């Protein structure tokens, strides 16, 4: 400890109070460019002495020994007196410490190195305690504040009190000081009496992490007037440079890596008739001022990490009005260490003057414009296929194939690996000077399947590094259209084949089913062979179902369209669908509001949904979700969908989605083909989706599929909107199994009388039909074709009550026969029988022609019922 008595008369050191008790913050202030006054005299500090400590300790020990030699009674007064003395000294020292007269010496405060650093600093430094009193200030701070001694020192807020330009910054600094944070402010201090002001940088920070130091704050103040003046000079020079650049006789622009224009000088903006404010706000991109594919040339420079490249391009810039302006660009681009491009620096020189004054340069400009604006990608290559020069279209194509720049370096990199040898061989032929090299069509490299056709020609100059000129046309769209046309032609061919086969099968099945009906009539259920006959009937019915599916694919089946509300139609089969898909698959139906009506065969539409639901169930063996959604699609929205082959019109859309295994991309184009199936043998006929396709097409709609392996499949069905008034619904066709259903109802009287002319080219089927009609009491005249039918009609004097005729027959078909019969008897009734759809031949008949229709194959009961119905009609 030491006594510091009248401490107020000397300069305060760190940790001591200031002389006048002024200030409310520990301030360290530094002011540059001022001569600091000599430091105030510091009185000598009393140093401690170990000898004095040992002397006092020895005296106490000696007194204790002396007391021990005396007797207890004699020593007691002396001991009490010594203890009282020590107690008084201790009590005095406690009061002196509390009053600040006595304190503990801080050796670090007397460190000459630290004091020299603070005293000799260029910046003003000050330290304040927790109450804001200045406990230390170096000479620079004293000089700045005009204080001669520490008694006159003031904290920062007192120095700049009344200065409105500085008060806000000082307030923020004081707030940071109270919170123990660091902060820096730069302010301009106005000079007194019109003197020039100065710029000051003020800083504040806590003194240290210790408990005592944490309550103290270090402030610094620096005069940065010269730095500010230098910055202003540099800024003025930069302004002059920019002003010169803006009005230079050449254009300048800069583009960032994202293609945004970050700078365009006034000259170029004036050339292009653009507003500089629009460009500065980030409203323009490189493609907005470069015509055609020229922007691809500027962004196709192959990156070389750490290098700076300058390329020269002759391209056209695009004005605001849409006109073009030929220019030469000196495009400079720097790449970082990671190969990332920085902002470009591009000089633009107008070539319009050259076009007017120099014919040779004008021809060069015209050639370059033709070269860059041709719709064909062109590149010159060396013997190894490396690109020497390329036009804008090739640069754009190379970027789309390989953004890393591989295709821009070598033309072989633009081709898939399997076809590179083919293109390389063509380039080798050109390098050897061969002519008439055959075009090469190969697959292009890239994530998507793209195709291109390469035309390779030799370069005549042997001394040139260019070995060949390669012209490239992308043929992806052409191949897609060819595949689409081929697929449509194949589907039509298969449909025609399926329709022809179905017609022949219908004749065979009709004969089988008619003969089977005769056997059923001749055998009772108790006969041993009755079950075999029923088995024949069931198999024939199953075969007829398959034939009907073939006709659906070929769009030649018989439909009975009616105006439908699809929401109601789907609701009616909700339970059926749930039974079909099972418990593992959840069914979700979402119907759009105010669905438009459509005109379709309700049973066939239900068959479409059932087929899609069954396929979805099979694609989700472990369970999943089947969603059926309906919505209206206006014509404008249909046009935006851009489905191939679907014109813009109003449609009702049905989406059938599942979360199954999906359809592989290589077979998605084959799923609508008949007999194509991915299921195991015996688990599918391959006619489900072909039936869907045929029914939708025959209804006038469209069907498309989107599928992603592992995520699911969605079928999009579009049916045309029907706006007609409700119309009378035609009679539904007699079901194939009418003989079976009739057994459950009271048997109707199917007998009749009259003369029927039966025309059928299949002799076996004709005889069976005639036999069946005769068994019901009718007189039957048989004919093998239309000509025979007319002869029989004339031979019987026209005494025919009904004509039952096939449609497709040799020599004279059914529609031709009908016209001839109507000429003889306009009131003659006729029934057409065919395995094709009714509308397949209805167009060849005169308008408003009345006739009945019976679709093959049919049972005997269906034939006699249709005959009785037609003969009984007025």
pTM (predicted TM-score): 0.43
> What confidence score (pLDDT) does residue 349 get?
79
Listed range (707-716, 739-748, 805-814) with the worst mean pLDDT: 739-748
Q: Indicate the CATH number of 112-224 among 3.30.450.20, 3.40.50.1950, 1.20.140.10, 3.40.228.10.
A: 3.30.450.20
3-state secondary structure string across 446-507: CCCCEEEEEEEEECCCCCCCCCEEEEEEECHHHHHHHHHHHHHHHHHHHHHHHHHHHHHHHH
> What confidence score (pLDDT) does residue 720 get?
92
Tell me the H-state helices in 721-855.
Answer: 738-742, 763-775, 786-795, 814-824, 839-842
- Report whether pLDDT(107) > 60: no
* Cα 221 → chain centroid: 55
Q: How confident is the model at residue 491 (pLDDT cuts 50, 70, 90)?
A: low
Provide the 10 A C-beta neighbour count for residue 451.
Answer: 18
Q: How confident is the model at residue 44 (pLDDT cuts 50, 70, 90)?
A: very low
Contact 415, 444 (CB under 8 A): yes
Please state the domain extents for the chain.
Answer: 112-224, 248-365, 559-720, 755-872
Give the whole-angstrom CA distance, residue 212 versus residue 106: 12
> What confidence score (pLDDT) does residue 327 get?
84
Q: How confident is the model at residue 654 (pLDDT cuts 50, 70, 90)?
A: very high
**CATH level 3 topology of 248-365:** Beta-Lactamase (3.30.450)
Q: How confident is the model at residue 682 (pLDDT cuts 50, 70, 90)?
A: very low
> What confidence score (pLDDT) does residue 736 get?
36
For 815, the token pair is 């529609």
Pairwise pLDDT comparison (263 vs 500), residue with the higher score: 263
Given the DSSP bridges, would you call strands 712-720 and 198-206 parallel, antiparallel or unpaired? unpaired
Q: pLDDT per residue over 369-407, tens digit each?
A: 777 777 788 888 888 888 888 887 888 788 777 766 666
> What confidence score (pLDDT) does residue 663 get?
83
Q: pLDDT per residue over 64-97, tens digit each?
A: 787 778 777 777 887 888 888 888 888 888 887 7
**CATH level 3 topology of 559-720:** Heat Shock Protein 90 (3.30.565)
Listed range (127-141, 601-615, 738-752) with the worst mean pLDDT: 738-752
Listed range (54-63, 465-474, 533-542) with the worst mean pLDDT: 533-542
Give the whole-angstrom CA distance, residue 632 versus residue 635: 10
Please provide residue 324's backbone torsions phi and psi, each rounded to the nearest 5 degrees.
Answer: -110, 155
> What confidence score (pLDDT) does residue 837 get?
58
Contact 607, 601 (CB under 8 A): no
Query: Tokens 């591989």 label which residue?
Result: 406
Is the domain 755-872 a CATH 3.40.50.2300 member? yes
Domains 112-224 and 248-365 belong to one CATH topology: yes
Pairwise pLDDT comparison (12 vs 668), residue with the higher score: 668
Mean pLDDT over all residues of the chain? 76
- Report whether pLDDT(502) > 70: no
């Amino acid at each position: 400890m030491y006594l510091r008595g009248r401490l107020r008369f000397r300069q305060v050191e760190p940790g001591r109070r200031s002389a006048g008790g002024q200030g409310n913050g520990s301030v360290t202030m530094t002011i540059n460019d001022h001569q600091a006054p000599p430091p105030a005299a510091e009185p000598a500090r009393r140093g401690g002495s170990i000898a004095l400590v040992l002397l006092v300790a020895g005296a106490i020990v000696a007194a204790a020994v002396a007391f021990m030699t005396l007797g207890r009674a004699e020593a007691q007064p002396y001991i009490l007196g010594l203890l009282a003395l020590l107690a008084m000294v201790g009590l005095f020292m406690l009061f002196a410490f509390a009053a600040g007269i006595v304190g503990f010496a801080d050796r670090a405060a007397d460190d000459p190195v630290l004091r020299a650093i603070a005293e000799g600093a260029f910046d003003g430094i000050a330290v304040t305690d927790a109450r804001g009193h200045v406990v230390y200030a170096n000479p620079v701070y004293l000089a700045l504040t005009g204080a001669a001694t520490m008694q006159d020192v003031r904290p920062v807020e007192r120095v700049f009190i009344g200065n409105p330009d500085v008060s806000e910054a000082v307030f923020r600094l004081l707030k940071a000081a109270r919170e123990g944070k660091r902060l820096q402010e730069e302010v301009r201090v106005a000079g007194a009496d019109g003197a020039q002001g100065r710029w000051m940088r003020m800083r504040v920070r806590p003194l240290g992490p210790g408990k005592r130091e944490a309550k103290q704050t270090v402030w610094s103040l620096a005069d940065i007037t010269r730095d500010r003046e230098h910055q202003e000079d540099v800024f003025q020079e930069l302004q002059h440079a920019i002003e010169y650049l803006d009005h230079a006789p050449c254009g300048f622009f800069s583009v960032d890596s994202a293609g945004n224009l970050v700078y365009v000088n006034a000259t170029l903006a004036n050339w292009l008739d653009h507003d500089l404010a629009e460009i500065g706000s980030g409203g323009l991109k490189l493609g907005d001022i470069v015509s055609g594919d020229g922007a691809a040339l500027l962004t196709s420079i192959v990156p070389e990490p750490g290098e700076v490249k300058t390329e020269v391009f002759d391209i056209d810039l695009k004005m605001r009005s849409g006109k073009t302006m030929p220019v030469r660009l000196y495009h400079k681009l720097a790449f970082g260490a990671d190969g990332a491009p920085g902002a470009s620096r591009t000089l633009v020189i107008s070539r319009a003057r050259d076009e007017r004054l120099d014919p040779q340069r004008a021809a060069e400009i015209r050639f370059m414009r033709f070269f860059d604006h041709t719709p064909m990608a062109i590149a010159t290559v060396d013997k190894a296929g490396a690109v020497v020069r390329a036009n804008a279209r090739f640069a754009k194509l190379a970027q789309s194939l390989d953004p890393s720049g591989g295709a821009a370096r070598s033309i072989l990199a633009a081709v898939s690996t399997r076809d590179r040898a083919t293109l390389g061989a063509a380039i080798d032929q050109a390098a050897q000077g061969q002519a008439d090299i055959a075009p090469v069509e190969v697959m292009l490299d890239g994530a998507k399947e793209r195709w291109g056709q390469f035309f390779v020609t030799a370069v005549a100059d042997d001394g040139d590094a260019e070995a060949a000129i390669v012209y490239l046309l992308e043929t992806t769209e052409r191949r897609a259209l060819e595949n689409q046309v081929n697929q449509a032609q194949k589907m039509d061919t298969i449909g025609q084949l399926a329709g022809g086969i179905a017609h022949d099968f219908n004749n065979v099945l009709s004969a089988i089913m008619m003969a089977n009906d005769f056997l059923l009539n001749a055998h009772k259920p108790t006969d041993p062979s009755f079950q075999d006959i029923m088995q024949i009937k069931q198999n024939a019915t199953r075969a007829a179902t398959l034939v009907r599916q073939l006709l659906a694919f070929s769009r030649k089946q018989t439909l009975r369209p009616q105006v439908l509300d699809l929401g109601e139609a789907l609701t009616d089969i909700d339970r059926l669908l749930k039974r079909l898909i099972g418990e593992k698959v959840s069914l979700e139906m979402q119907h759009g509001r105010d669905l438009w009506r459509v005109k379709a065969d309700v049973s066939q539409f239900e068959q479409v949904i059932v087929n899609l639901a069954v396929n979805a169930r099979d694609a989700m063996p472990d369970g999943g979700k089947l969603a059926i959604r309906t919505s209206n699609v206006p014509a404008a929205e249909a046009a935006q969908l851009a489905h191939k082959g679907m014109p813009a019109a109003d449609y009702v859309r049905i989406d059938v989605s599942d979360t199954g295994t999906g359809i592989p991309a290589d077979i998605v184009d084959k799923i609508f083909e008949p007999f194509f199936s991915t299921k195991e043998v015996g688990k599918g006929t391959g006619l489900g989706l072909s039936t869907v396709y045929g029914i939708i097409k025959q209804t006038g709609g469209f069907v498309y599929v989107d599928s992603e392996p592992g995520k699911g499949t969605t079928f999009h069905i579009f049916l045309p909107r029907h706006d007609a008034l409700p119309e009378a619904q035609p009679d539904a066709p007699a079901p194939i199994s009418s003989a079976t259903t009739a057994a459950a109802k009271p048997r109707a009287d199917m007998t009749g009388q009259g003369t029927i002319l039966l025309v059928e080219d299949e002799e076996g089927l004709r005889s069976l039909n005639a036999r069946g009609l005769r068994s019901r009491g009718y007189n039957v005249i048989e004919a093998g074709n239309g000509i025979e039918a007319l002869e029989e009609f004339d031979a019987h004097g026209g005494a025919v009550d009904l004509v039952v005729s096939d449609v497709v027959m040799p020599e004279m078909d059914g529609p031709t026969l009908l016209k001839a019969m109507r000429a003889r008897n306009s009131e003659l009734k006729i029934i057409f029988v065919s395995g094709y759809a009714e509308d397949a031949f209805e167009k060849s008949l005169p308008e408003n022609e009345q006739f009945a229709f019976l679709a093959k194959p049919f049972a005997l009961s269906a034939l006699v019922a249709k005959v009785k119905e037609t003969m009984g009609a007025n």
